[in-house]
Chains A and B, each alone.
Chain A
């Protein structure tokens, strides 16, 4: 937008504030089908309007990436972020911005010279704003998805205490390399935090194991031994046992048990629990 048109646009924004706000809010409202409270929408549009006015009165050519538009960019970015977090689509957010065009058209005097040129320029600028919300929206969604993926990873790998000195990781679902690594690190840290010399890795809920995942589990067991803790693997399904043998993965002297219950029993025995009970009875 050149300087002449910008001055014209600035005049329009200054003289028709109430009218433009009313029309813009109304147009934006139809695009959202009443899913956003009217007062909230009116507030968002008012904020956008004021940021826009602050940008347009500034001297010089009007573009969204100019330093003068920093406030406008911030308001647009925040609007997109809020909409993304509240489950609105990127289209709905962009429509709220595009609604300004119709509002401008409504207050323009069609007879006045240059009004067509002004409208085309404003239209172009508003398109720019709309595209910016699209980008900001997808950035927010991406961050959200990454965060959720991380939370899911945390949720899907709980380390539970089965007994004083015995912790277990019940693994459920497909194990990829990244998740196997998270499991490894969390299990080992839990051994230290709880002072547990025994760990059980239960893979009853794991549908398949490939070489890499098997290697991760083996490395976990060896690392735990270096730290002074013993691991038992339980719940190996028949198919997984066949895979392990077919892949030629050596489980060596690692203790494996059919069920979590068997593994706990084995661990308690290995830890001398029964032995001590007998000693108490003798007393």
Chain B
């Protein structure tokens, strides 16, 4: 494999990293993503790292750089699916993903981008809970206002150093 596939989900680009990242591959992804953001006019990028069993400083820097480039191109970046062991290691390593927003899963990431309340859908008596189909939810609320609307934007993100 010499390229990581990028999927288009409406106005969101979805990257799911499924291989042990070589440095060259990581650089290539960075370039590919910038081109695709411009070509598609995407407003957000979701990077799913749930398959990664480590994130070292190089991959961490790649994620931060992608977020910075996206911001310049008027798109938001959400990194989703970081494993607990990876998160604990990153904290110990002293690495904070500067400027990167995070979410538990792709579904949570889409909700965050759409400004959909993160608990409301999950409330005990709310209709539509539990279908687990984040993509459907995202489509049905696709006409939401700006991506960072909603109260989540006010929540603290990973501390920057």
Contacts and interface: CB of A to CB of B under 8 A. Distances in A.
A22 interface: no
A276 B120 contact: yes
A191 interface: yes
Interface in B94-129: 96-97, 102-105, 108-109, 116-124, 126, 129
A272 B88 CA distance: 28
Contact of A191 (B97, B104, B117, B118): B104
Given A197-B108, A230-B156, A254-B156, A271 B102 contact: no
A117 B146 CA distance: 98
Interface string A26-62: 0000000000000000000000000000000000000
A103 to B, nearest CB: 59
Contact of A228 (B82, B88, B116, B129): B82
Contacts of B102: 225-228
Contacts of A226: 82, 87, 90-91, 96-97, 102, 158
B15 to A, nearest CB: 16
B118 A165 contact: yes
A222 B158 CA distance: 6
Interface of A: 163-166, 184-185, 188-189, 191-192, 195-198, 219, 222-230, 252-255, 267-273, 275-277, 279-280
A25 B103 CA distance: 69
Interface of A is mostly: helix
A273 B117 contact: yes
A279 B115 CA distance: 14
A227 B101 CA distance: 10
Interface stretch (B6-14, B21-29, B147-155): B147-155
Contacts, number: 127
B159 interface: yes
Nearest to B78: A228
Nearest to B130: A164
B83 to A, nearest CB: 7
A166 B104 CA distance: 13
B119 A272 contact: yes
Contact of B87 (A195, A227, A253, A271): A227
Contacts of A275: 117, 120, 150-151
Contacts of B151: 269-272, 275
B82 A273 contact: no
B90 A276 contact: no
Contacts of A196: 104
A268 B119 CA distance: 7
Contacts of A198: 118-119
Most buried by B among A192, A223, A252: A223
Closest 8 CB pairs of A and B: A272-B117, A271-B119, A276-B120, A188-B84, A228-B103, A228-B102, A223-B87, A164-B122
B159 A227 contact: no
B71 interface: no
Nearest to A196: B104
Contacts of A185: 84, 88
Given A163-B123, A195-B108, A268-B119, 8 more contacts: A195-B105, A219-B91, A219-B92, A224-B87, A228-B79, A270-B151, A271-B119, A276-B117
